């Protein structure tokens, strides 16, 4: 006698809701001047190409349609001096394009990287079934994974919603210098004020060193100091203070 149909789970073991499907993609900063993208759709590649070309930063472009990857070669070997304002600005620009297409940053990756990869970052994006689509994923095996038309469409992108991530960078350019790179225009005063107020001993000087790049000279102990002093903060504490102050009071992305 089969009694499976009469089985009722106990209240403390509720059925879990199904998780949404996600697409995954990989971004790497490689060698001295390369940006590689894996499994990103053509709109992301096209937008990134336009952004990099507008900065006159691209010297070459290669695409491997069969494996769903592409590679940008940039002017001036920016990754040889990762602390330069130009290099940091390029990183923020690349991340901005990806996030504005609806992707979410997951984690840096160390396993399985290419030998010349300096940094590998994984991203995900929800996907939803197209209404009325009856095609199966198995029928697409012969199509190029880079340009194929899928029965799955990406989730809502930034063009369909008013909420999306606007990245900016807080960089420790030296032991006593903190740099703010590409803050959102409407929140720049708030971010700069948060940085000024987050270092207990105050700021000696500040200046705008490049377009949308600001530097602050910190007073007192180095920000990397490990001395057991009340005013010696670590990197993470300083960044957390900056972001908490800004997000609570000002930023509306």
CATH code of the domain covering residue 79: 3.30.1360
- Give the tens place of pLDDT for each residue, 18-76: 677 889 999 999 999 999 999 999 999 999 999 999 988 899 999 998 889 999 999 99
Give pLDDT, residue 198.
75
Residue 113 shares a structural domain with residue 177: no
Cβ-contact 147, 42 below 8 angstroms = yes
How many domains is the chain partitioned into structurally?
Answer: 2
Same domain, 185 and 118: no
Q: Which residue has the tokens 């900065």?
A: 55
The H-or-E segment that residue 82 falls in is none
> Whose CA is closest to 80, among 33, 26, 130?
33
For 217, the enclosing helix (H) or strand (E) is strand 213-218
Question: Could you tell me which residues are beta bridge partners of residue 10?
Answer: none
Longest dimension (CA), the chain: 82
184: pLDDT confidence band, cut at 50, 70 and 90? confident
Whether residue 239 is contained in a domain is answered as: yes
Measure Cα distances from 209 to 109, 147, 172, 212 in Å. 32, 41, 14, 8
**pTM, two decimal places:** 0.71
């Amino acid at each position: 006698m089969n009694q499976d149909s009469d089985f009722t789970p106990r209240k403390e073991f509720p059925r879990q809701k199904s998780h949404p499907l996600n697409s995954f993609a990989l971004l790497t900063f490689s060698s001295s001047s390369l940006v590689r993208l894996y499994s990103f759709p053509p709109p992301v590649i096209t937008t990134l190409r336009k952004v990099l070309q507008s900065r006159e930063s691209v010297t070459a472009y290669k695409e491997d349609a069969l494996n769903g990857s592409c590679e940008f070669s940039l002017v001036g070997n920016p990754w040889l001096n990762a602390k330069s304002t130009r290099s940091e600005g390029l990183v923020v620009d690349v991340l901005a394009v990806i996030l504005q297409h609806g992707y979410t940053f997951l984690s840096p990756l160390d396993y399985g990287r290419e030998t010349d990869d300096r940094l590998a970052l994984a991203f995900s994006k929800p996907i939803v079934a197209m209404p009325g689509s009856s095609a199966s994923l198995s029928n697409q095996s012969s199509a190029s994974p880079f340009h194929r038309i899928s029965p799955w469409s990406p989730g809502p992108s930034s063009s369909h919603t008013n909420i999306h991530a606007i990245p900016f960078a807080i960089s420790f350019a030296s032991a006593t210098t903190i740099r703010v790179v590409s803050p959102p225009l409407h929140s720049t005063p708030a971010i700069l004020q948060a940085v000024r107020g987050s270092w207990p001993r105050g700021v000696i000087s500040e200046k705008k060193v490049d377009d949308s790049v600001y530097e602050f000279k910190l007073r007192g102990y180095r920000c990397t100091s490990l001395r057991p002093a009340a005013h010696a903060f670590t990197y993470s504490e300083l960044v957390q203070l900056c972001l908490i102050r800004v997000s609570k009071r000002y930023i509306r992305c």
